[in-house]
Each structure stands twice: as structure tokens, then as C-alpha cells.
């Protein structure tokens, strides 16, 4: 690594506000949309500064939790669209693309989808009817306004020797619940880009399973248009050569590649990925090692984080002809889910803006990578 990095030093910035630097979206306009997610608090007006930050700097906006099944339809036929509507309104007001996330997932889905009034498991026909009805209602509401949907989320198993995750959707309907979800989404909005979204699918083992799924769907003429690599990464993993290999393999299927949930955590962990059921425990004795930056992020670590982000975006930009979008999973460090995952109550620094919504060295590294690629 060169002694002088190609982005400003701390002393040179000196931490301007998010509206005192050129919008990041302008640097990426010649390449691909650059996105972020908005939390439920931001969409409810409790963290309006995050909405302002996202509207200025990002050209694609995703709801972090407000469009998942439990948020939109907590009880059968009872839809709660307020936060989802707000996401679309914010995006349309600033000229950003609203992203639909997510229609079918094993988590954050109410139990009523899978049981009858007595609590007994429903049969395939009932479960499939509920899946279709949910997708028809949600995608239909935003037809012509939301142009991209994460249709099925995290259907591939992490277990060795196992292909698909044993989710409640699979148990109720069968393996074809994935194909049925894509068909229902396409019927509700034939012009929308439909995405299969998952974590760790850039790694060779899980990638092989994902390629098997995608080839099967394409062979069956299922309307899947893109694959979403979530991108929950760390400072030392994954190897970007492996990520680049994955981008090329997915693109070879004729699919657009999205980076849908990017963050680069700086804290130590034994886990890589996005399985929300993972929960590591940090003892008091381990805190100094597992949560070392409670007060602030050391300048040298911030530089290393910026360099890692820069290398990631140089890779994306090399393949911009197949990259449809890169979205960060959060707006600023304080709102990142990594503060509570996979260890609760830590202080992580995975995004481009700090807890005071000021651009970090990583912001300038990413911005300059985009400018250099023009």
C-alpha cells in the first residue's frame, strides 16, 4: 500500500457535513446507481437526517425492514403500507430508484402464512395461495413505481451437502416456491427487474449451489433477471479475487449482478455472512479485543477501511457493464445492523458516514474510484 493514499487524510478534510461535499451519486452517474437503506426510524421521521443524507448522496433507496412480510402484512389481509409508501415518496422526490426488499424470506415472516386458525400447518394449496396473494398485493401496489424487487431472499442452505434452506415456505409448498414467487412477481409487474438475493454466494461452495438454482430457474423460463450478492464483508474476508470470479460466473448466465447490502465491518468476528440467527457472545473479558473502538475509530484503521472500500469499488467498476447497482446496508455507522450482529452492543464502523453523518475517508475513496473510472 502506498504511503500516501489517493484520498484525503483526516487533517485535510476536516470532517465536513454530508451536505458540504459533492453528492456521491453524481460520481456514480456514468456507471451504475449507488444506494443505501433507510431504517424504520428514518421512514417514520424519527431519524429524518438519515433520510436527508440518503436523498442527497444515493440514487437507489431500500427499506431496511419496512417492506418485509411481517411489516407489510402482520395479519392476513391487514396491510400496513405507511413506511413503505414513505420510502417511495422520498425516492421519487430526489430522483432515486426505490428498491423493493423483500417479498419471500424465511425470517421476518408471520406464522399465519403457514398455519390455519387452529395452529395446524396448512397444505400446499393454501400456502401457495397466500404467497401469491401477498406478492400480487405488494408488487401490484407499486407497479410502475418500484422497478426492482428482491423476490426471494436467502433460499440457499449454508449446510454442507444440503442445497436449499429448510425454510417454512419450502416445507409448506415445496422446492418450487422459489419459481412460483418469481412468476407471481412478474405477473404483478411485468416490467420490474426481479432479483434472487443472498449472502456468501460469492464464495465458491455456496456459489455452486446458487448457480444450480439459477440455471434451473432459467431452464424453466422463470422470470429471474438478476442476482443480488449481499456483500456483508470484513476487512480480511472475502478475497476479492473470489468475488470477481463470482461476478463473472453470474453474469455469464445472462443475469445482471447487484451488490445489494454492502458493508465492511472493522470488528473481529468468527462469522462472515448475513444469517440473522447467528448470535456470538462477548464476555466482559473479551470486550477489549472484540469491541476495541468504543470511543472512536483510530485513523490508521479508518485508512485501512477506506482502502478496502476503494479496492471493492475498483472491482465493481471494472465490471460495470454487468453491475446493475451497488447499495450499502445503512446510511451511517450509528444505524448499521453490525453494531448488534453477530455480537450485540458493539461499536462498528462499516459505512461511508460516521455517527455524526460526516463523510469518512471511505467516502472519498469510493468517490474517487468512481471519478477515476470515467
Asked whether the beta carbons of 301 and 266 are under 8 A apart, the reply is yes
d(CA 243, CA 265): 17
| Burial (0-12, 13-18, 19+ Cβ within 10 Å), 120 | exposed
**Nearest to residue 215, comparing CAs of 163, 275, 149?**
163
Instruction: Give me 281's grid cell.
Output: 457472545
Whether 64 is catalytic is no
List phi, psi (to 5°) of 151. -75, -55
d(CA 169, CA 231): 24
| Burial (0-12, 13-18, 19+ Cβ within 10 Å), 161 | exposed
Catalytic residue among 47, 64, 249, 261: 261
Whether 92 is catalytic is no
Catalytic residue among 47, 64, 154, 180: 154
Asked whether the beta carbons of 198 and 228 are under 8 A apart, the reply is yes
Catalytic residue annotation: 154, 261
Amino acid at each position: 500500500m502506498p504511503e500516501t493514499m489517493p484520498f484525503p487524510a483526516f487533517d485535510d478534510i476536516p470532517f465536513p457535513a454530508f451536505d458540504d461535499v459533492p453528492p456521491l451519486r453524481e460520481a456514480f452517474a456514468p456507471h451504475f446507481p449507488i444506494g443505501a437503506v433507510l431504517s424504520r426510524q428514518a421512514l417514520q421521521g424519527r431519524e429524518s437526517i438519515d433520510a436527508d443524507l440518503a436523498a442527497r448522496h444515493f440514487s437507489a433507496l431500500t427499506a431496511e425492514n419496512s417492506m418485509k412480510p411481517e411489516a407489510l402484512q402482520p395479519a392476513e389481509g391487514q396491510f400496513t403500507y405507511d413506511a413503505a409508501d414513505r420510502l417511495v415518496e422520498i425516492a421519487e422526490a430526489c430522483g432515486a430508484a426505490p428498491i423493493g426488499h423483500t417479498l419471500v424470506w424465511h425470517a421476518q415472516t408471520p406464522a399465519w402464512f403457514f398455519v390455519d386458525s387452529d395452529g395446524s400447518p396448512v397444505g400446499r394449496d393454501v400456502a401457495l395461495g397466500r404467497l401469491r396473494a401477498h406478492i400480487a398485493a405488494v408488487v401490484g401496489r407499486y407497479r410502475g413505481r418500484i422497478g426492482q424487487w428482491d423476490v426471494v431472499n436467502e433460499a440457499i442452505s449454508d449446510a454442507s451437502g444440503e442445497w436449499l434452506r429448510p425454510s417454512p415456505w419450502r416445507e409448506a409448498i415445496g422446492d418450487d416456491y422459489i419459481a412460483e414467487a418469481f412468476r407471481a412477481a412478474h405477473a404483478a409487474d411485468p416490467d420490474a427487474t426481479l432479483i434472487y438475493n443472498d449472502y456468501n454466494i460469492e464464495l465458491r461452495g455456496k456459489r455452486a449451489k446458487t448457480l444450480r438454482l439459477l440455471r434451473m430457474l432459467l431452464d424453466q423460463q422463470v422470470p429471474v433477471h438478476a442476482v443480488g450478492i449481499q456483500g456483508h464483508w470484513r476487512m480480511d474476508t472475502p478475497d476479492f479475487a473470489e468475488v470477481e470470479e463470482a461476478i463473472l460466473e453470474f453474469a455469464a448466465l445472462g443475469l445482471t449482478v447487484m451488490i445489494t447490502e454492502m458493508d465492511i465491518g472493522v470488528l473481529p468476528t468468527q462469522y462472515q455472512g448475513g444469517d440473522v440467527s447467528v448470535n456470538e457472545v462477548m464476555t466482559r473479558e473479551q470486550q477489549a479485543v472484540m469491541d476495541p473502538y468504543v470511543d472512536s475509530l483510530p485513523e490508521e484503521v479508518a485508512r485501512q477501511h477506506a482502502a478496502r472500500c476503494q479496492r471493492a469499488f475498483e472491482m465493481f467498476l471494472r465490471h460495470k457493464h454487468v453491475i446493475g447497482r451497488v447499495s450499502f446496508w445503512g446510511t451511517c455507522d450509528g444505524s448499521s445492523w453490525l453494531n448488534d450482529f453477530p455480537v450485540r452492543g458493539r461499536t462498528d464502523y462499516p459505512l461511508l458516514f460516521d455517527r455524526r453523518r460526516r463523510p469518512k475517508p471511505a467516502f472519498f475513496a469510493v468517490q474517487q474510484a468512481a471519478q477515476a473510472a470515467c
